[in-house]
Amino acid sequence: MPNVTVDGTEIEVPEGATVLQACELAGKEIPRFCYHERLSIAGNCRMCLVEVKPGPPKPQASCALPATEGQEIRTDSEMVKKAREGVMEFLLINHPLDCPICDQGGECDLQDQAMAYGRGYTRYDENKRAVTEKYMGPLIKTIMTRCIHCTRCVRFSEEVAGVDEIGALYRGENMQITTYLEQAAEHELSANVIDLCPVGALTSRPYAYEARPWELKKTLSIDVSDAMGSNITLCSRGREVLRVLPRINDEVNEEWITDKARYQVDGLQRRRLDKVFLRKRGKLVEGSWDEAFKAIAKAKPGKSIAAIAGDMVDCETMFAAKALVKASGSDLVESRQTGMDYPTGNLAAVNFNTSFAEIENADAVLIVGSNLRTEAALLNVRIRKAVKRGAKVFVVGPEWETTYPAEFLGDDVSVLGKLPKAVTDAFKDAERPALILGAGGLAAGAYDSALGLVETLGLVKDGWNGFNVVHTAAARMGALMLGFAQDGGIADIAKAKPKLVLALGADEVDWEPFADSLKVYIGHHGDKGAHAADIILPAASYAEKPGSYVNTEGRVQFADKAVFAPGDAREDWTILRALADALKVKVGFDNFAQLRAAMTEEVPALAVEGLADYGSLPKTGKAAKAEGKIAYPIADFYLTNPIARASTTMQRCSAELIHGEDVREAAE
Amino acid sequence: MADRAPAPDTPELRERWGGFVWTDENAEKARTFVSRYPEGRQKSAVMPLLDLAQRQVGAETNTQGWLPLPVIEYIAEYLDMPVIRVLEVATFYTMYNLAPVGRFHVQVCGTTPCMLRGSDDILEACYKRGMVKGSTSEDGLWTLTEVECMGNCATAPMVQINDGNYEDLTPERLDAVLDALAAGKQPKEGTQEPGRHTSEPSGGPTTLKEMVDANHDYRSEW
């Protein structure tokens, strides 16, 4: 490990570190534009110049210079100061002075660094260059005159997303960043280039001219659009969530989020349930809370009560519902809306055991029935990293466009019983083999045969558990931890013919078998569940209530409340608490703290942030034979949940990117 | 540098060039180019292939050749690489023509040494023949471009026409070259100065004179 001296202080830096990293370790700030920790080194902005001895007597780009033994690095010398001023002056030659009308203003690297390291005036009085706007799809707004050619966006789409669609055309002064023929950037992570862009060249189109960063209240939250549990910041002003930004969490989402997580929030303002509705003579009419509770009490459900949880509810809501159902003397609770009925006795068998961070180290991966790009796009990024390190990937299921080389083995789960030699060979040599079972595989009944492969493929090794299940619902693991499941899935509940069914944001349920039940929808959007309901009790979305979520790797995470729910809508648990009074049962909690205490008493793992321990995988005998065609659960990535379906941005993405409608706007 | 932009992506362009495939002869050449690079690095052949494609288009259209978008896509597919990466290369190097050019692509060097030796007169001579910078003459014969240094400073001023360099030009000598080309003849390439062979000193050597006929050891004279 080399020892270097940074501004007079000697430090030891890790092998392979760059001079820039060494300076950071020494606590020195190095301005930079093109350098980004998660992307390859480009070294083309020249902003990170420092003085290094021994070496040529001129400043050197620290981001691309390896730290070696005995280097003397200066970041505070006159030479460095002048170099930074010079580079900044060059960068600003062609950069427009339009900060007042630029959406990046207030969170712009160029603005900040020009203030900190710039000269304050320019000696350039020629014409500036101007670049035409480039169309990059419904999410990315471009003002390419502002571009300083750092190529972060190019490197992101090539290296992280694995979809080569942004490039730098022409050369020198004429260089322009664009997509091929200005086609829309068409992948699930496209909007991350907005965060990466150090200037205002790529900004958010739906959020254009909405707010300045200093006006926004920032709330730490968890994304519920998929089961990854991405860490996000909800930026809100007044009662409105205006945008979502990723939070850095190397264990979960690194620093990316999917486009859906980022842009579905405008759906929080639309199609909201903000009043109580009751079905009278076949029509839903507005009513009051009192009326609704009376109507529910009048149904006299007694023990005949069931609760079905949707994909986006938090653990607290499900626990409150379960407490209510239990207090009424029933145990009919279920969260797998679409009718899946895999065994839930051993949670390790339905968990992503390898963990997202570790899956990067896998050297052989078998994906069974999952289109990772739509179901867990950030996991797909990790698999891509694994492939770059040499992992082989095989997929059972209909073909989808992978962002890495992968071999498709057919779409029938029966192939698990007779895996081709290529697979068995790859797994035989693998030190860290992994199997990823997706929702499509679970629905096709691959659970048993996949579990059988644990032995055959040697998935469990010392310090390595390669058996993984990827869920698609943010609520799923939490629900399973709370025991929110029946042996036979939702069919069991239908068989019991409950008088009262509480639908907690359950929008994907087939309500046909529940025709005779009183269906009470407790949720936030007027979507499929509300259409089928007899009584609608308006509740809070994920942005409007605190709650815990467990992602598909069993990571317990807490989200805060960003804004208040609109109109009469209440936080879900308060509705369930009031309902308990109406049904004259005791649930044992009167406020949120008590609810949480009761919940963590029943499931202690929910009290601790981080990975829950589910023990070891169940022992299985011979691999059970399974047959069935795999179909992926997500047909339209942009419209998978009621919030996204209500979002105009997501609707536009779906229309343009999935259905290929030409909704391109005229250039502004 | 002249403004460059790929020819617009129109249905006519797609119809004309959508079916582009290598000729048998060029397919063989393309395979040779690709085989020069190790397995998995076939992308490295993108530059010779773009040049080959440009020449094939040129042969088909009886011009110097250019790269229509469908041809660029064809090469991207041939090398199994993203088309934006191929377009990046094609737009970076000015020797790839992104728009149709004429039979003869007259590239006049206008960089300092050529300018000092009279490239302005050369350009003027081109203008006199009806050429306009950045466009093709009506008869489809000439496309005029001003380019940066071509490395023939010792024989400046110079003009590159398709694959040939014509050096030591005066407006009259340029006219002679262009007339010959227009008449379908192949004028002598290289220097146009009578008595000069290549870029040797004009008017005979002024230094190292002893070296002209045989090797001479100057070291004892230092």
- DSSP letters spanning A254-308: BT---HHHHHGGGGGGSSB--SEEEEETTEEEEE-HHHHHHHHHHT--TT-EEEE
- Fill in the amino acid letter for A140: I
User: Could you give the dihedral angle defined by the CA atoms of residues A511, A517, A520 and A525, in that order, rounded to the nearest 10 degrees?
Assistant: 10
Is the CB of A180 less than 8 angstroms away from the CB of B84? yes
A143, A133 contact by CB (below 8 A): yes
> How far, in whole angstroms, is CA A402 from its chain's centroid?
18
| pLDDT, tens digit (0-9, with 9 covering 90-100), for A322-351 | 999 999 999 999 999 988 889 898 999 999
> How far, in whole angstroms, is CA A632 from its chain's centroid?
19
| pLDDT, tens digit (0-9, with 9 covering 90-100), for B147-185 | 999 999 999 999 999 999 999 999 999 999 999 999 999
Handedness of CA B135, B141, B144, B147 (dihedral sign): positive
Q: What is the pTM of this model?
A: 0.91
Res. B1 pLDDT band, cuts 50 70 90: very low
A20 to chain B nearest CA, in Å?
A: 29
Q: Which two tokens stand for residue A406?
A: 């992968």
| pLDDT, tens digit (0-9, with 9 covering 90-100), for A471-529 | 999 999 999 999 999 999 999 999 999 999 999 999 999 999 999 999 999 999 999 99
Per-residue confidence (pLDDT) for residue A666, from 0 to 100: 46
User: Could you give the dihedral angle defined by the CA atoms of residues A226, A228, A230 and A236, in that order, rounded to the nearest 10 degrees?
Assistant: 20
CA–CA distance, A543 with A214 (Å, rounded to integer): 20
In this complex, the residue of B4, B83, B92 whose CB is nearest that of residue A180 is: B83
Which residue in chain A has the smallest CA separation from B1? A174
Instruction: Give the residue-averaged pLDDT of A184-191.
Output: 90
Q: What is the DSSP letter of A660?
A: -
Q: Where are the alpha helices (DSSP H) in chain B?
A: 11-17, 24-35, 46-61, 69-78, 83-92, 112-116, 119-128, 171-182
Instruction: Give the residue-averaged pLDDT of A652-667.
Output: 75
Length of chain A in terms of residues written: 668
Res. A182 pLDDT band, cuts 50 70 90: confident
A632, A374 contact by CB (below 8 A): yes
In this complex, the residue of A165, A172, A181 whose CB is nearest that of residue B9 is: A181
A176 to chain B nearest CA, in Å?
A: 10
Q: What is the DSSP string of A306-327?
A: EEEE-SS--HHHHHHHHHHHHH
Residue A352 forms beta bridges with which residues? Answer: A468
CA–CA distance, A162 with A401 (Å, rounded to integer): 11
In this complex, the residue of A166, A174, A181 whose CB is nearest that of residue B1 is: A174
B85 touches chain A (CB under 8 A): yes
Q: Which two tokens stand for residue A275?
A: 């009043």
- Coil, helix or strand for A599? helix
Q: CA–CA distance from A331 to each of A20, A302, A550, A585, B22 (Å)? A: 59, 12, 22, 15, 70
| pLDDT, tens digit (0-9, with 9 covering 90-100), for A380-434 | 999 999 999 999 999 999 999 999 999 999 999 889 888 999 999 999 989 999 9
Please count the residue pairs, one from chain A and one from chain B, whose beta carbons lie less than 8 angstroms apart.
34
Residue A287 forms beta bridges with which residues? Answer: A276
A286, A313 contact by CB (below 8 A): no
A541, A526 contact by CB (below 8 A): no
Does the pLDDT value for residue A549 go beyond 50?
Answer: yes
A173, A78 contact by CB (below 8 A): no
Where are the strands (E) in A180-252, listed by range? Answer: 202-204, 217-222, 231-237, 240-246
Element (H, E) at B142: strand B142-147
Which residue in chain A has the smallest CA separation from B2? A174
Q: Which two tokens stand for residue A566?
A: 């609109």
Q: Where are the alpha helices (DSSP H) in A605-658?
A: 642-646, 648-653
